[in-house]
Chain A
Amino acid sequence: MRRMVTDRRFGWLLMGLALLVSCARDEGIGDRYRAEQMYYRASKLYQTLQIDQGEISSERFGRIRESFRRIIEEYPASTLDQTEEYDETVRQELFRITGMSQLNLADLFTQEGQIDSAITAYRKVLSGYGHQRSLSSRAQYSLALVYQSADRWSEAVTAFETLLEEYPPFRETPQQPDEIILNIPGYVASTYLSRGDSAMAGQYFQKAHDFLSRVTEQWPQTPTARMAQNQIVNAYIIQQRWSSAVSALERLAAMSEEGDDPADALFLMATLYSERLGDFDRAMGIYTDMLQRYPDSDKLGRAVLAMGQIHLQKGELQEARGAFGRVIESYSDDHTACATAQYALALSYEFEGDWEKALNEFRWVLDNYPGSREAFAVPNHIFEHYRQYGEQELAQTAYRQALRTYSDIVTKRPGTPQALQGQWHIAQAHILMQSWEQAAAALEQLVQDYPQSQQVLPALMSLGEIYELYLDRIDQAMGAYQMVVRLAPRNPYASIAAEHVDRLQKALP
């Protein structure tokens, strides 16, 4: 062994190896691997935060922030730029990892409610990682949302405008539209509208139209152009400019020929003609055109249903029933359309005065489409029919049957959307019966059991009305209205509720 070590040839071999090792470089792969390891572990910690539903302590937030901060400190953006031995691909990947770490840090501050720290952190992403376009556009968008959540709306608008000016409306190519960016102009305009600033809303809707039109001209015949045109349609619909929406839809249908299902645009156009513009003939023409040109579209069931509903509105009962029957027979896969068609079929007999047939068809809805919106409506509808025609005994029986049906659903499927519907319809049944105490109790139960549901605001408004007008409990009425304002201050219900609160406060002695 000693001989071996002193042998010159062995010495040359060792030197050669050392030279080989020192000359060969790993091009930053080692640093990238370490960064990926740190990021993986930090992300795992972050995920546990998102799974936990309870209160998260600030210590826990701090630990997760610290794990991302270590990555940023270990591989600062300034150093990454200057390190020459990195391969370019590795350098960009390191930028991505550290940029994501900085972004996650900002998101954590947002979740914690530390708005100023979040803003600072998002700005750091923008300043340090501006060349990483997807990262910086995400940071810019999040910055705008943070300003909005902090009620700094003008700064939010500026941030949104920066996003539109500095980032293209697509990801890599116009074939990959960026839905967030394309949605922004309409979103800003809608937000102004919901804040009650119709002047600014009008201005921004015009800006949205100009921006989106430029996109369709600059990148024609691309998914980005189609999405932009779709946003133009949405903007007109929000503004209730139905004729403009229809014109935009015509353009969208022409653009959609090569790409998405063009029947979608036609269907919406026909719906606007019939429901908003009252032009049933144009609507029927479009539906008929759809049936001929796009026999494979998944919208055809709803198109035939809509044709039946137009016939029903015009009093053409035979034609209406024909259309409804066709929906049920030929488009049985579209359960929603079939449930609606079956319900409408029952209504057509009721309009004709043939209650026995109508009742039979209503029962068919209950048996064949349980859980559908129409199935929920049937028991109360039957009760309401008997009540309107003065058939008290039958009304009482139907009322009790309706309550049994709805209570059954609430008991068997607690916490589900069906149970929520059941609870709502219990309240409606009591309202129809003018049993105000029971109606109030049912609505209170709904608000308590489903505080996050969309039904809460209408329930609170109904509760306020019942307490005020029928039970003479002004305090409780005010409480219900005030809760609407507290839960959703920007919702249209809130302004109505606020007016009621003002009125009731003035009427108090």
Chain B
Amino acid sequence: MDLVARVNALLWTWIQSLRSVKRISLFFPFLLFAFLQGGLVFVLLFFYVSPISSLLIPLIRRLSQESALHYPQFYFFLPGLFSKVNGWILNPIIGWLFIGTATLMFAGWYRERPLSTGRALAGAFRFIGPLFVVGLAEWMVVRIVMRLFGLLSTSVWHWGTQSPRLFMLTGFFLTIVLITPFAYTSAHIVLGKRGILGSLRGSFDLARRNFGLTYILFAIPSVLTLAMNMVLQDAPIIVARTSPTMIVVLLFINIIITVVVNFLIVGALTAFYLRTRES
């Protein structure tokens, strides 16, 4: 594809994705996942209540430090705790099921054969194995590379601690580079009905041929979540200037923003997958 064609394709995928907004049911998979994330925030907020305190207190100690068990210091660490539990448990275990469900629903909408959430969920559940394995593979690649990046930045290049925001920004763009090859795996699995290796090959191939477009499809909406994460990095200042409750409000806003961001990304990727398959 030449540059003009790529730009056209990019604009076309955005338009398809944005047009989908009027179909409220397409939000349901993301809202279901957001509900689980909200539940996670709620559970973390009451970590000190028996009997869950017995499990959560050691977990919080492990994931952060002793001072996180104090009020209001807990709220300084809450965004990080949520991010870790969400990133290590919710996303890798169950996130892919909802992406698969959403992919099926978007495909149904684009093909003018809309699918209910229940049927899409059941449809995605049939592919839970490949979805989980591929999702786990992507998760491991990102984790390992970002860990190496973190170690190199602080120990070798010595710039991570001096400019944390620059470090965060670089990490953000690097993460998108890493997940771009995996962008179409869900579509290949639930729509193309391919297995683990087939979906990986197909996704890598499609992403390679359209790397810039795919990268932009991820990057632009994700800037919203990056902005929120940068705000939440200043949790101690927010608590000092407003109140600890503000952190909870910002976390819930972040969850809603993530719903919108994921909606736009999955919608655009599914539209582009279908377009390339049909052409």
Residues of A within 8 A of B (CB): 20-22, 24-26, 29-30, 32-34, 36-37, 40, 44
Q: Is the CB of A26 within 8 A of B57?
A: yes
Is there contact, CB below 8 Å, between B48 and A24? no
A29 engages B48 (CB within 8 Å): yes
A29 with B51: in contact, given A36-B71, A37-B71, A40-B72 (CB under 8 Å)? no
A21, B55: Cβ atoms closer than 8 Å? yes
The 9 closest A-B pairs by CB, nearest first: A24-B54, A36-B71, A30-B48, A33-B48, A26-B53, A21-B51, A37-B71, A30-B53, A21-B54
Neighbouring A residues of B53 by C-beta, 8 Å: 26, 29-30
A32 CA / B70 CA spacing, docked (Å): 8
A29 to B66, alpha carbons, bound, how many Å? 11
Asked if A29 and B69 make an inter-chain contact with CB atoms under 8 angstroms apart, the answer reads yes
B122 within 8 A of A: no
Complex contacts, B52 vs chain A, CB 8 Å: 21
Q: How far is the CB of B192 from chain A (nearest CB, A)?
A: 32
**Which B residues, 37 to 73, have Cβ-Cβ distances below 8 Å to chain A?**
48-55, 57-58, 69-72
Q: How far is the CA of A85 from the CA of B51 in the complex (A)?
A: 15
Contact A26 B54 (CB under 8 A): yes
Flag if B71 contacts A30 (CB, 8 Å): no
Please, how many angstroms separate the alpha-carbon atoms of A421 and B2 in the complex?
Answer: 80
Instruction: Take A29-B48, A30-B48, A33-B48 as given contacts and tell me if A24 and B71 are in contact as well, using a CB distance cutoff of 8 Å.
Output: no
Collect the chain A residues with CB atoms within 8 Å of residue B27's CB. Answer: none
Residues of A within 8 A of B71 (CB): 33, 36-37, 40
- CA A34 to CA B53, docked complex, whole Å: 13
What's the dominant secondary structure at chain A's contact region?
helix
Q: How many angstroms between the C-alpha atoms of A24 and B71 in the bound complex? A: 22
CB distance from B248 to the nearest CB of A (A): 13
Shortest beta-carbon distance from B240 to chain A in Å: 11
Task: Mark each residue of chain B from 170 to 181: 1 if its CB lies under 8 Å from any CB of chain A, else 0.
Answer: 000000000000
Q: Which residues of A contact B50 (CB under 8 A)?
A: 26, 30
* B148: min CB distance to chain A, Å: 35
Asked if B74 CB lies within 8 Å of chain A CBs, one says yes
Counting chain B CB atoms within 10 Å of each CB, the highest count among A21, A25, A30, A40 belongs to: A30
A26 to B74, CA, bound (A): 16
**Complex interface: chain B residues within 8 A of A29 (CB):** 48, 53, 57, 69
Could you give, for residues 61-91 of chain B, a 1 whenever the CB lies within 8 Å of some chain A CB and a 0 otherwise? 0000000011110100000000000000000
A33 touches B72 (CB 8 A): no
How many B residues have CB within 8 A of the partner chain?
17
Least CB separation from B60: chain A residue: A29
Shortest Cβ distance from A33 into B: residue:
B48
B51 lies within 8 A of A33 (CB)? no
- Could you list 20 A-B pairs, sorted by A, with CB under 8 Å? A20-B54, A21-B51, A21-B52, A21-B55, A24-B54, A24-B55, A24-B58, A26-B50, A26-B54, A29-B57, A30-B53, A32-B69, A33-B69, A33-B70, A33-B71, A33-B74, A36-B70, A36-B72, A40-B72, A44-B243
Taking CB atoms and an 8 Å cut-off, the chain B residues in 1-44 that contact chain A are: none
* Contact B49 A30, beta carbon cutoff 8 Å: yes
> A40: which B residues are within 8 A, CB to CB?
71-72, 244
Bound together, the chains give a CA A132 to CA B57 distance in angstroms of 27
Contact with A along B98-113 (1 / 0, CB 8 A): 0000000000000000
In Å, the complex CA distance between A30 and B53 comes to 7
How far is it, in angstroms, between the C-alpha of A34 and the C-alpha of B48 when the chains are bound? 8
Contacts of A32 in B (CB 8 A): 69-70
Closest residue of chain B to A35 (Cβ to Cβ) is B71
Which residues in A have their C-beta under 8 angstroms from that of B74?
A: 33
Least CB distance, B27 to chain A, in whole angstroms: 28
Shortest Cβ distance from A93 into B: residue: B70
Q: Which residues of B contact A44 (CB under 8 A)?
A: 243
Closest-CB distance, A53 to chain B (whole angstroms): 22
Instruction: Report which residue of A33, A40, A44 has the largest number of chain B beta carbons within 10 angstroms of its beta carbon.
Output: A33
Complex CA gap A22/B52 in Å reads 10
Q: How far is the CA of A36 from the CA of B68 in the complex (A)?
A: 12
| Closest chain A CB from B129 CB (angstroms) | 19
Q: State whether A25 and B72 are in contact (beta carbons under 8 Å apart), knowing that A30-B48, A30-B49, A34-B48 are contacts in the complex.
A: no
For the complex, what is the distance from the CA of A26 to the CA of B72, rounded to whole Å? 18
Tell me the minimal C-beta distance from B115 to chain A in angstroms: 24
Bound: A44/B48 CA distance, A: 22
A20 to B58, CA, bound (A): 13
Most buried by B among A20, A21, A29: A29
Q: Are A25 and B54 in contact (CB under 8 A)?
A: yes
Q: How far is the CB of A331 from chain B (nearest CB, A)?
A: 39
Task: Give B58's nearest chain A residue, CB to CB.
Answer: A24
Task: Determine how close the nearest CB of chain B comes to the CB of A45; give it in whole angstroms.
Answer: 12
Bound-state Cα–Cα, A22 to B53, Å: 11
A36 to B72 CA separation, bound complex (whole angstroms)? 8
- Smallest CB separation, A18 vs chain B (Å): 9
Give the residues in chain B near A24, CB-CB below 8 Å.
Answer: 54-55, 58
State the CA gap A21–B54 with chains docked (Å).
6
Q: How far is the CA of A373 from the CA of B72 in the complex (A)?
A: 48
Which residues of chain A are near B72, meaning CB under 8 Å? 36-37, 40
CB neighbours of B48 from chain A (8 A): 26, 29-30, 33-34
Q: How far is the CA of A36 from the CA of B57 in the complex (A)?
A: 16
- A residues less than 8 Å from B244 (CB atoms): 40
B70 / chain A contacts, CB cutoff of 8 Å: 32-33, 36
Specify the chain B residue showing the minimal Cβ separation from A24. Answer: B54
Shortest distance between the CB of B72 and any CB in chain A (Å): 6
Tell whether A22 pairs with B51 under 8 Å between CB atoms, given A29-B57, A33-B74: yes
In the assembled complex, the Cα of A21 lies from the Cα of B53 at a distance in Å of 9
Expressed in whole angstroms, the minimum distance between the Cβ of B59 and any Cβ of chain A is 12
A22 to B54, CA, bound (A): 8
Q: How far is the CB of B185 from chain A (nearest CB, A)?
A: 30
Kindly list 20 other residue pairs between chains A and B, CB separation below 8 angstroms, not including A36-B71, A40-B71. A20-B54, A21-B51, A21-B54, A22-B51, A24-B54, A24-B55, A25-B54, A26-B48, A26-B54, A29-B48, A29-B57, A29-B69, A30-B50, A30-B53, A32-B69, A33-B71, A34-B48, A36-B70, A37-B71, A44-B243
